[in-house]
Structure 1
Amino acid sequence: MAFDFLVPIEDKVLAHCELLPPQALGKNIFKHTERKGLPVLANATIAIFGVHESRNAFEKKMGRLDISGLRLQLYKLMLGNWNSTIVDLGDLEQGEEVEDSYFVVKEIVAGLLEENIIPIIIGATQDITYPTYRAFDGLKNMINLVAVDSKFDFGDAEELISSNSYMSKIITDKPNNLFNFSNIGYQSYFNAQEEIDLMERLLFDAYRLGEIAFDVSLAEPVLRNADIVSLDARAIRASDIGMSDNFSPNGFTGREICAIARYAGISDKVSLFGLYEMENSIQSFQLMSQIIWYFIEGVNFRIKESPYLDKDSFTKFIVPTDDEDLIFYKSNLTERWWVEVPSILTSHNKTNTPALLPCTEKDYLEACNQNIPERWFKAYKKGFN
């Protein structure tokens, strides 16, 4: 069984937990220990585990990721007003071959998803996103992947999979279950124009760092539609992560990246959250642990709502345009917006009703001015292709 490959949490972390106050996270997480073994998953909501595999790093790592160092920072944070049961499954060491590590990650994630448990993966390199994507095979037909990243990570088409090219593998690998890919926070000078053009041709969504930094709430509808969220720590600016040479002066601030993590947690569709490419430093571990905290906070404030399930809780807006009427819905409870996309058919949403695409109030106002929202247009075209 794949879970047998997980190694227990280090004794120094467990010893640290003994000194924590009862309200600390470390006192309220069920942990994989040498003495007690793996925690029971029966009632778990969230499962944390680390992945040490880094042999496919584009920029070779100087040392092994100190996941225990991150745990020390995470465990000392205080528990929120939560009702989630959190387990920490320990770490997955490198397999004999990289493919062995990928296989075990895939099996562990698939096992957790089958139990409706949300995995939080602390990974050394972002190519681990690939086996997490493959874990959905047989569980879900079409997957929406969101990467919080300064790069698109398409890499060279001839290159073997790496942390810089895993998206090419996901796009080309069979079976192709990727319905949509969205990037949040790309920086133009890190991406070739050909990559930007490819995003456009494939009808994928890309949001520049400046757009999201100006209004971080623009990330919310993107994350509301995601199944997998993959966060590259190098999307965070160097001064906020610890001034490493591998990080850029430009990037998300600590506050912005935590807001994005909370939006990911609030999305009742997000089934997996991965954090990758972090550095071994106290400041890095502090910020990563706070990102995890905000994701868990979001999970605990999830509200499952749909105008198709409870019409009385929504206000419906019909916007006539030159081509067709656009139908928007606004939640009276959360004030979130959706728009119907009639072209996405039963193969994606399993019903005969039009698909609901998360959107913003700005999209509605644009439609009122006879400007079709770009996100609607892309989804509409995908439904026909």
Structure 2
Amino acid sequence: MNFEFFSPVSDLILAHNELLSSQALGKKIKIHSSQNGFPELEGVDIAIFGVLENRNDVNYIGESFDLNEIRKTFYSLYPGSWNTQLADLGDIEKGETVEDTYFALKSTVASLIKQNIIPIIIGGTQDLTYANYRAYDNIMPMVNIVNVDCKFDLGDSTKPMKNDSFVGKIILDEPYNLFNYATVGYQTYFNSQEEKDLMESLYFESYRLGSVSKDIALVEPAMRDANIVSVDLNAVMGSELSLKQKFSPNGLDGKEICAIARYAGISNKVSSFGIYEYKPSKDDEMTSMLVSQMLWYFIEGVNCRVNDDDFSDENSYQKFITLVDSQELVFYKSNKTGRWWIEIPFLAEVNNKLKRHTLLPCMHQDYIDACSNIVPDRWYKAFQKNCV
């Protein structure tokens, strides 16, 4: 791993850290400092770092930012009953060009994943998700992304990439590694009809804000199937955030965004997590505290991971078979956690990369719907993608 990409955590924050209780998180993290250098990654489970890149913001006017307030609040929290070792690697500074920053982020994420370390990226603009995605090119054949956002961020892929149009590049740039893309918490009036139609035609998933707020558990199966989770802070309602961060009066509230972060952590598949579009302001305690609590809940989730998806042992699960429109649907329920999966049938004549996607996470409600002759939406979309 190239340590030269990183600048250390500021001495001001480290001085503040010295005043904290010995039980605080800041005293239990390996920290990249100018005095002690880059931390030893042996035994580290989760690595947090910032990426100070915001030049692809559609509203960029040359401003810079730092993550000092987030670190200050995060270090002051107390850990749960955790058995994970955390490290704060410092920040990836802006490169000569945005592409240089992408390269630094891509190679860092790839290196960490290969060491079985989960990277948590705190970023400027959300187009950094593209570099995060590209880190998987030589790691796995197909990648699932969940974007917690009020917009789909598809954009016009013929134009240069911006923070509101990076998904179009992910879909169209080679190598084509994207299997599923899901948007959680989208708000209809922020998205054009063309984008909604494109999401439908590609059989991608989208969860409206109203549906998510009504039943937050809807998000869990999508998170359980994700490799990358990317959170846009603009998905959070303005009243939960500080002055400069406010975007919309409607959005996810603090409890909902923390529950979503915990679902991402609990997922056995999620191997990188990013929080983007952070904008510090002078009255910033609110946003930095919310981001710190999201980080806390993600780490809490990682500590609660359970291997419940090994279906080689017949005593570890229950199997249910039901007919929907003459299509046999096979469900599995883990005896350990009570979580549900549905089988996607193989199409032998189709040459695809889907060989490991035989089981799709779902909800108990999907089984109930199937018993009432209703085809589960997640199953239908995955089946259609399998046919393409």
TM-score by length of 1: 0.96
> Which stretch shifts more, 197-206 or 16-25?
16-25
Q: What SS class does the counterpart of residue 60 from structure 2 fall into?
A: coil
Task: Spell out the pairing of 1:122-271 with structure 2 (5 A cutoff).
Answer: 122-244=122-244, 246-271=246-271
In structure 1, what residue type is equivalent to 2:80?
G
- Between the aligned partners of 2:354 and 2:202, the Cα distance in structure 1 is 20
- Between the aligned partners of 1:69 and 1:46, the Cα distance in structure 2 is 20
Residue 334, structure 1, aligned to residue 334, structure 2: no
- 2:245–2:287 Cα contact (<8 Å) kept: no
Partner of 1:384: 387
- Between the aligned partners of 2:31 and 2:243, the Cα distance in structure 1 is 32
- Between the aligned partners of 1:12 and 1:37, the Cα distance in structure 2 is 16
Partner of 1:317: 320
In structure 1, what residue type is equivalent to 2:304?
F
Aligned-pair CA distance for 1:259? 0.2
- Between the aligned partners of 2:370 and 2:347, the Cα distance in structure 1 is 19
Q: What SS class does the counterpart of residue 126 from structure 1 fall into?
A: coil
In structure 2, what residue type is equivalent to 1:330?
K
Aligned-pair CA distance for 1:349? 5.2
Are the structure 2 counterparts of residues 67 and 61 from structure 1 closer, same or farther at C-alpha, using a change threshold of 3 Å?
farther
In structure 1, what residue type is equivalent to 2:166?
Y
Partner of 1:363: 366
- Between the aligned partners of 2:78 and 2:111, the Cα distance in structure 1 is 29
Instruction: Give deviations 1:31-84, integer Å, cap 9, x for gaps.
Output: 101121111112110000000011111122673232111100100000110000
Partner of 2:119: 119
- Between the aligned partners of 2:230 and 2:61, the Cα distance in structure 1 is 19
- Between the aligned partners of 2:229 and 2:254, the Cα distance in structure 1 is 17
- Between the aligned partners of 2:309 and 2:153, the Cα distance in structure 1 is 34
Task: Spell out the pairing of 1:265-280 with structure 2 (5 A cutoff).
Answer: 265-280=265-280
- Between the aligned partners of 1:322 and 1:165, the Cα distance in structure 2 is 39
- 1:344–1:382 Cα contact (<8 Å) kept: no
Partner of 2:13: 13
- Aligned-pair RMSD on alpha carbons? 1.5
In structure 2, what residue type is equivalent to 1:341?
I
Aligned-pair CA distance for 1:344? 6.9
Aligned-pair CA distance for 1:350? 4.2
- Between the aligned partners of 1:194 and 1:133, the Cα distance in structure 2 is 24
Aligned-pair CA distance for 1:311? 2.5
Are the structure 2 counterparts of residues 290 and 61 from structure 1 closer, same or farther at C-alpha, using a change threshold of 3 Å?
farther
Q: Which of 301, 306, 314 is equivalent to 2:304?
A: 301
Q: Which of 262, 272, 288 is equivalent to 1:285?
A: 288
> Which stretch shifts more, 166-175 or 242-251?
242-251
Structure 2: gaps of 5 or more residues: none
- Between the aligned partners of 2:2 and 2:257, the Cα distance in structure 1 is 32
Task: Spell out the pairing of 1:338-353 with structure 2 (5 A cutoff).
Answer: 338-343=341-346, 348=353, 350=355
- Between the aligned partners of 2:384 and 2:33, the Cα distance in structure 1 is 50
- 2:234–2:245 Cα contact (<8 Å) kept: no
Instruction: Give deviations 1:299-328, integer Å, cap 9, x for gaps.
Output: 000011225233212111111222221111
Partner of 1:105: 105
Task: Spell out the pairing of 1:46-125 with structure 2 (5 A cutoff).
Answer: 46-60=46-60, 63-125=63-125
Q: What SS class does the counterpart of residue 213 from structure 1 fall into?
A: helix
Aligned-pair CA distance for 1:101? 0.6
TM-score by length of 2: 0.96
Structure 1: gaps of 5 or more residues: none
> How many pairs does the alignment contain?
383
In structure 1, what residue type is equivalent to 2:54?
S
> Which stretch shifts more, 190-199 or 57-66?
57-66
In structure 1, what residue type is equivalent to 2:384?
K
Are the structure 2 counterparts of residues 136 and 253 from structure 1 closer, same or farther at C-alpha, using a change threshold of 3 Å?
same
- Between the aligned partners of 1:165 and 1:82, the Cα distance in structure 2 is 37
Q: What SS class does the counterpart of residue 168 from structure 1 fall into?
A: helix
> Which stretch shifts more, 72-81 or 237-246?
237-246
- Between the aligned partners of 2:14 and 2:313, the Cα distance in structure 1 is 46
> Which stretch shifts more, 330-339 or 266-275?
330-339
- Between the aligned partners of 2:200 and 2:84, the Cα distance in structure 1 is 39
- 2:51–2:121 Cα contact (<8 Å) kept: yes
Instruction: Give deviations 1:120-162, integer Å, cap 9, x for gaps.
Output: 0000110100000000011000000000000011122332011
